[in-house]
């Protein structure tokens, strides 16, 4: 029985038709920050940190604290990404500045051993 | 369309998975071009521009999605109606602008899905009245999710999960053989701790949610959200959120909108008539669910 791998692909469609493609979401416990589709940071969600990334519009400041993540500052017009506040799972996106932050939920799986999901882990969120 | 698309596939090979996902990506690009309400040369925009003037030749995908949209309109007593365009355009949820009664009364006669004329012989779509506007926002994402799943299956993928901005379609099971776990958002969440109100397990089903918290503003103590009642031109009032579980995302997406507008009582009847499952949070925050999913859904206790 071949090992089965769970792979993920994240695509962003924007009004201007630009598409960012990213492969393989980070594993559980990791916070991945990408700019323009390229990973810039892979951080542990367990360590409080403030980092700054530079996108085409300017600096986006990302904060990790108490196992939560937020966009503290971003140069976009609408500040929608900042209004989302703190997240514990899923993704945060600042489209104008091309910044994508994902919190890893997945464990790479070997079908022979199976997986034990943490109680709160979901594969996707609707709503 | 500012939309986050996530594709998850289960595959014995990384190579096979990447090939399938790249094909799916092309599919999404193609759909984006067809459906964009904002892009001046999309087929939908051309149909709208020629309202009351002439029929416009369209791709089979557009005919298909219009047919599906009309089926949903018929089964929701007209609560779901893609011709809502002229009225939704009067609202701006970022600038917090809403129309006065006169503007709504003026545009309401342009809202009627029965005025969409589809000619199958020459593949044209004609909107009968000048000023009519089709908005596929309530169904396009679900349709995109279905198309992506079709594309993945064609490339040999046996299991996966596709999400187009919260419209989710699952097929097969996860690598450990278990169904996919989908979180349903709490429509009145105050923060990350109470963000998810329930977790439901799905196998080979689609789930979509319409909520009054997605695009809205509050003015004079009243919430103005984007799910407008096509009969009144004002935001529907019976629900906070509606999640519909069906065999395809095209339907779960559109029916979630229609059932939200109908309200909990009529909404539950439509779910029963269609053989779908659903979770309705009514305007007072009370949760109604269809009998079938009782064993498959777990509600989180909020402190």
Give the Cα separation of B11 and B13 in Å (integer).
5
Q: Please, which residues 64-93 of chain B have a Cβ atom closer than 8 Å to chain A? A: none
Residue B120: the pLDDT is 93
pLDDT at A36: 81
Containing domain of residue A60, as a range? 30-116
What is the pLDDT, as a whole number, of residue B149? 96
The stretch B250-277 carries a mean pLDDT of: 98
- R_g over Cα of chain B: 19
Q: What is the pLDDT of residue A20?
A: 41
**Per the CB < 8 Å rule, is A68 touching B14?**
no
Determine the Cα–Cα distance for residues A52 and A57; give it in Å rounded to an integer.
13
Residues in chain A predicted with pLDDT less than 50, given as ranges, are: 1-3, 13-24, 107-119
pLDDT at B291 over 80: yes
Judge whether A18 lies within some domain: no
Chain B residue with minimal CA distance to A77?
Answer: B94
Shortest Cα–Cα distance, A52 to chain B (Å) = 22
When pLDDT is averaged across residues B106-115 and rounded to a whole number, the result is: 98
SS (H, E, C) chain B: CCEEEEEEEEECCHHHHHHHHHHHHHHHHHHHHHHCCCCCCCHHHHHHHCCCCCCEECCHHHHHHHHHHHHHHHHCCCCCCHHHHHHHCCCECCCCECCCHHHHHHHHHHCCHHHEEEECCCCEEEECCCCCCCCHHHCHHHHHHHHHHHHHHHCCCCEEEEEECCEEEEECCCCCCCCEEEEEECCCCCCHHHCEEEEEEECCCEEEEEECCCCEEEECCEEEECCECCCCCCECCCEEEEEEEECCHHHHHHHHHHHHHHCHHHHHHHHHHHCCEEEEEECCCCEEECHHHCCCEEECCCC
Interface size A-B, in CB pairs within 8 Å, comes to 141
Residue A16, domain member (yes or no): no
pLDDT over 90 (residue B82): yes
- DSSP code string of A67-95: TEEEEEE---SS-HHHHT--BSSEEEEET
Residue A52 touches partner B, C-beta closer than 8 Å: no
Q: Does B104 touch chain A (CB under 8 A)?
A: no
Give the pLDDT band (50/70/90) at residue B98: very high
Q: How confident is the model at residue B31 (pLDDT cuts 50, 70, 90)?
A: confident
Q: For all residues of chain B together, what is the average pLDDT?
A: 91
Q: Is A123 in contact with B29 (Cβ distance < 8 A)?
A: no
At residue A25, the pLDDT reads 53
Number of domains in chain A: 1
Please list every residue in chain B whose beta carbon sits closer than 8 Å to the beta carbon of residue A91. Answer: 4
Name which of B2, B174, B192 is nearest A88 (Cβ-Cβ). B192
**Mutation choice for B interface testing from A2, A85, A103, A123 by most B CBs within 10 A:** A123
Q: Comparing C-alpha atoms, which of B29, B32, B53 is closest to residue B44?
A: B32
Rg (CA), chain A: 15
- A12 interface with B at CB cutoff 8 Å: yes
pLDDT confidence tier of residue B147, bands split at 50, 70 and 90? very high
Q: Which residue has the higher pLDDT, B141 or A63?
A: A63
pLDDT grade, residue B300 (50/70/90)? confident
**pLDDT confidence band for B86 (50 / 70 / 90):** very high
Element (H, E) at A10: strand A5-13
Per-residue pLDDT, A8: 57
> Does residue A79 sit within a domain?
yes
Chain B residue numbers touching A68 (CB-CB < 8 A):
192
* Residue A123 distance to chain B (closest CA, Å): 5
Q: Is residue A88 part of a domain?
A: yes
Residue A106 and residue A88 in contact, taking contact as beta carbons nearer than 8 Å: no
Report if residue A125 sits inside a domain: no
CATH number at residue A60: 2.60.320.10
State whether B185 and A126 contact (CB < 8 Å). yes
pTM of the model: 0.79
- What residues form DSSP beta bridges with A69? A64, A87
pLDDT at B108: 98
Predicted pLDDT at B258: 98
Measured between CB atoms, does B195 come within 8 Å of chain A? yes
What pLDDT, on a 0 to 100 scale, did the predictor assign at position A11? 54
Under 8 Å between Cβ of A74 and A99: yes
Looking at chain B from residue 233 to 272, which residues have their Cβ under 8 Å from any Cβ of chain A? 241, 243
Whether residues B18 and A7 touch (CB distance < 8 A) is answered with yes
Lowest mean pLDDT among A105-109, B175-179, B247-251: A105-109
* Cross-chain residue pair A122–B196, CB shorter than 8 Å: yes
Predicted confidence (pLDDT) at residue B303 exceeds the cutoff of 90: no
Whether the per-residue pLDDT at B4 is higher than 90: the answer is no
For residue A126, the distance in angstroms to the closest alpha carbon of chain B comes to 4
**Would you call B115 exposed, middle or buried from its count of C-beta atoms within 10 A (0-12, 13-18, 19+)?**
middle
pLDDT of residue A117: 37
Share of chain B above pLDDT 70, in %: 95
pLDDT of residue A62: 97
What band does B26 get if pLDDT is binned at 50, 70 and 90?
confident
Q: Which of A11, A12, A123 sits opposite B182 (nearest CB)?
A: A123
* Nearest residue on chain A to B244, alpha-carbon basis: A126
Q: Is residue A21 part of a domain?
A: no
Is the pLDDT at B5 greater than 90, yes or no? no
Chain A residues near residue B12 by CB distance under 8 angstroms: 2-5
**Is the Cβ of B17 closer than 8 Å to some Cβ of chain A?**
yes
* Residue B110 phi, psi dihedral angles, 5° rounding: -80, -5
* A56, part of any domain: yes
Whether B104 and B86 have beta carbons less than 8 Å apart is answered as no
Residue A99 forms part of a structural domain: yes
The question of ipTM being above 0.85 is answered as yes
């Amino acid at each position: 029985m071949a090992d089965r791998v769970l792979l993920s692909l994240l695509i962003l469609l924007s009004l201007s038709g630009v598409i960012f493609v990213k492969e393989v979401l980070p594993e559980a416990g990791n916070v991945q920050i990408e700019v323009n589709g390229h990973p810039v940071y892979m951080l542990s969600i367990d360590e409080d940190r403030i980092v700054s990334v530079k996108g085409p519009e300017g600096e986006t400041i990302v904060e990790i604290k108490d196992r939560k993540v937020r966009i503290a500052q971003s140069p976009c017009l609408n500040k929608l990404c900042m209004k989302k506040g703190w997240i514990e799972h899923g993704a945060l996106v600042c489209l104008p500045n091309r910044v994508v932050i994902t919190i890893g939920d997945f464990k790479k799986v070997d079908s022979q051993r199976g997986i034990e999901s943490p109680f709160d882990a979901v594969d996707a969120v609707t709503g | 369309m500012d939309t986050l698309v996530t594709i998850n596939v289960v595959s014995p090979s990384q190579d096979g998975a990447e090939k399938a996902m790249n094909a799916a990506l092309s599919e999404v690009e193609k759909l984006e071009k067809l459906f964009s309400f904002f892009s001046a040369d999309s087929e939908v925009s051309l149909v709208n521009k020629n309202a009351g003037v002439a029929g416009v030749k369209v791709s089979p995908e557009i005919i298909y999605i219009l047919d599906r949209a009309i089926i949903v309109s018929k089964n929701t007593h007209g609560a779901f109606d893609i011709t809502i365009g002229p009225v939704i355009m009067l609202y701006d949820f970022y600038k917090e602008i809403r129309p006065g009664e006169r503007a709504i009364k003026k545009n309401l006669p342009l809202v009627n899905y029965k005025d969409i004329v589809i000619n199958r012989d020459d593949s044209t779509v004609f909107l009968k009245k000048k000023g009519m506007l089709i908005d596929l926002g309530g169904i396009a994402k679900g349709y995109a999710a279905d198309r992506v799943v079709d594309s993945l299956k064609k490339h040999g993928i046996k299991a996966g999960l596709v999400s187009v901005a919260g419209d989710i379609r699952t097929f097969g099971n996860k690598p450990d053989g278990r169904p996919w776990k989908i979180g349903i958002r709490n429509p009145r969440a105050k923060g990350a701790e109470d963000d998810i109100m329930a977790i439901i397990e799905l196998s080979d089903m689609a789930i979509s949610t319409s909520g009054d918290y997605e695009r809205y503003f509050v003015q004079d103590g009243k919430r103005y959200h984007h799910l407008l009642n096509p009969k009144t031109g004002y935001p529907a009032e019976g629900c906070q959120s509606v999640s519909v579980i069906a065999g395809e995302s095209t339907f779960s997406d559109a029916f979630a909108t229609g059932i939200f507008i109908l309200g909990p009582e009529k909404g539950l009847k439509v779910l029963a008539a269609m053989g779908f499952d659903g979770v309705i949070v009514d305007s007072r925050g009370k949760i109604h669910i269809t009998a079938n999913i009782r064993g498959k859904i777990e509600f989180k206790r909020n402190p």
